[in-house]
Amino acid sequence: MPILTRRNLLKASAVVGTYGIGVGIAGKFGMAEAAPEPQLLKAVKTQATLTDAGVTKNIMTWGDAGGDAGMPPVLRMTKGKPYAARLTNALDEPTTIHWHGLRIPNKMDGVPFMTQPYVYTGDSFDYAFSPPDAGTFWYHPHCNTLTQMGQGMTGVIVVDDPADPTFDSEVVLNLRDWRLGGDGQFIAAFRPRDAAKTGTYGTVRTANWHQEPQYDAPAGGLIRLRIAVTDVTRVFSLKMEGAEATVIAIDGNPVPKRFPLDLLLIGPGQRLDLAVRMPDSEGAVATLEDIRGTTPKTIARLRSVGASLKRNVGDLAALAENPVPKADLSSAEKISVTLSATAESAPVDSICGTLGYSFWAINKVTWAGDTADPTAPLAELKLGKSYILQLENLTPHVHPIHLHGMSFTVLSSSAGEVMPFVSDTYLIQSGESVELAFVADNLGDWLLHCHIIEHQKTGMTSYVRVV
C-alpha cells in the first residue's frame, strides 16, 4: 500500500525545506534542566510468533540499539520531566511518531506535512518534550498507518506521577488484533465494504502480543491495570470476572468519581486505568473480558499468588488531577463538527498511504489525504480562548474521535447523563450529539480524526488551527 513513486518522492522532498531540521535536543530545554539521553526507537521490520501457525513475517515495530525487537516497549516518562527519543527509520518507507494524548508542542506531534517532514529510510528524528500530564497514553506512526500500525507499531506510554498512590503491582495491557490468515501471515489490511461501515476487524486478538495471557499478582492486593486499545478497528465492552475492578482514570485522566467497571465501551485510541482488588485465595483467577459481539472473549487473566494482602480499594488515595486548563463556559465559542458518510471526492495519492476510497466526511468535507496542501482548517482558534466542540454523529456507526494537542472536558450528551471526564478521544454513538469543552492553549495545526484508521484514511479527518 505505501505508494513510493519517484514523482511522489520528489513532490514530498520539495516541501521538506519548509520545516527546517528536527528540533535539536540540546536546544529544547532551559539551562537548569539537563537534556536526558534520548531513548532509541529504531523502526524495523521483523518477525514474531503470534499464533500456533508459526512465525509471522513483515511485523513492524520499534527495537532498541541492541537489536531487540518484539512488542514496542512500554515507554516510561515522568510528569513534567524532560523526555527524549531518537526515531531511526530502518523500514523501507517513511514514518513518524505521534504521542497520542500528550499535550506537547506542535513540532513534536509527529504528523507528516502538518508538523514535521517525513522521516525517510535511514534518517533520524529527535523528539524531546516534557509530558505535562500523568497517566496512560500511547504512541504510533502517523504515516501509512493502516499498514504500519496494523503490522505492529502501536506502543503504550506510562507517565508516572511520583505522588501517585502505591499499588501492590502494575500490569500494562496493549490490546490489539492482527489480520492474519490460517498460515499466520498478513492478509489484506481491509475490505472496502467494511471500511464504509465499522472498519475491518482483525482475525487474531492479542494482549501484549499474546493470546489470552495470564499474569501473577499478589492475592488480596491492589493492582493498577493500565489498558490501552491500540487496535485500528475494534471497540471493546470491558468487564472483569472474578475480581472487583474500579475505574480510576479514562484516557490518562483521573475520573471525577470512581465507579465499578461494568461493560464500559472503549474504542481505538482510548485507555482505561483500573484498580483491581485481587481475590484472597492463592490460585484464584480474575478474567478481563470483552463482551461486545456474540460470545464473550477472554482478553487476559490475573492469578492471585501468595498470602492475601487484604487490601481495600477504598483505602486508595485519589490520583492527582492533571493540569488541564478549564474552559470558561461563559465566553466559549461553539464549533459544529458533523460526522457523516459521503460518496464524493477522490483521495489524493500520498506516500503516507491512501486506501483509494472516500467514505466519510467532517462538516461535509472529505479529507483528501495527508498532503502538503490540505483542505482549510475546520476552525481557526485564538490562543488562550475557550471553545466547545458540538460533535454530532449522523452515521449508523460509533466513532472514536481524537483531538491532537489539547484535552477536552465532556460537558453533555444527547445520549444521557455523562460524567465530566477529561479526554483526548471521545467514542461517539450513532445519532449522538456531545459537547466537548477545551481551552485552545497550544499553538499550531492539530488533527481531529476518527481513530478507526480506515475511517480516518477514507475521509473522517480534519484539523483546527490555533493562532
Q: Give the residue with the Cβ less far from Cu ion, 388 or 452.
A: 452
* 269, interface contact from ligand C2O, Cu ion, none, CB < 5-8 Å by kind: ligand C2O
Contact partner at residue 107 from Cu ion, ligand C2O, none, CB < 5 to 8 Å by partner kind: none
Nearer to ligand C2O, 176 or 301 (CB): 176
Nearer to ligand C2O, 72 or 220 (CB): 72
- For ligand C2O, the closer CB: 142 or 226: 142
Q: In the complex with ligand C2O, which residue's Cβ is closer, 100 or 205?
A: 100
Q: Which residues in this chain contact ligand C2O in the complex, by CB under 6 A?
A: 98, 100, 140, 142, 269, 402, 404, 447, 449, 451
Do 290 and 203 touch, CB atoms closer than 8 A? no
CA–CA separation, 313 and 336 (whole Å): 41
Query: What does 205 interact with, of Cu ion, ligand C2O, none (CB < 5 to 8 A by kind)?
Result: none
Picked from Cu ion, ligand C2O, none, the partner binding residue 404 (CB below 5 to 8 A depending on kind) is: ligand C2O
- 449 makes contact, choosing from ligand C2O, Cu ion, none, with CB < 5 to 8 Å by partner type, with ligand C2O
- The interface partner of residue 402, options being Cu ion, ligand C2O, none and the CB cut-off 5 to 8 Å by kind, is ligand C2O
Q: Which is nearer to Cu ion, 28 or 399 (CB)?
A: 399
Question: To the nearest whole angstrom, how small is the minimum distance from the Cβ of residue 389 to ligand C2O?
Answer: 16
> Measured from the CB of residue 26, what is the shortest distance to ligand C2O in angstroms?
28
Residue with cell 503504550: 156
Which residue's CB is nearer to ligand C2O, number 128 or number 232?
Answer: 232
Based on CB atoms, which residue is closest to ligand C2O, 289 or 445?
445
Residue 219 interface partner, choices ligand C2O, Cu ion, none, CB cut-off 5-8 Å depending on type: none
Cβ 301 vs Cβ 285: under 8 Å: yes
Distance of CA 281 to the CA centre of its chain: 36
Residues lying near Cu ion in the complex (CB under 5 A): 399, 450, 452, 455
140 binds, among Cu ion, ligand C2O, none (CB under 5 to 8 A by kind): ligand C2O
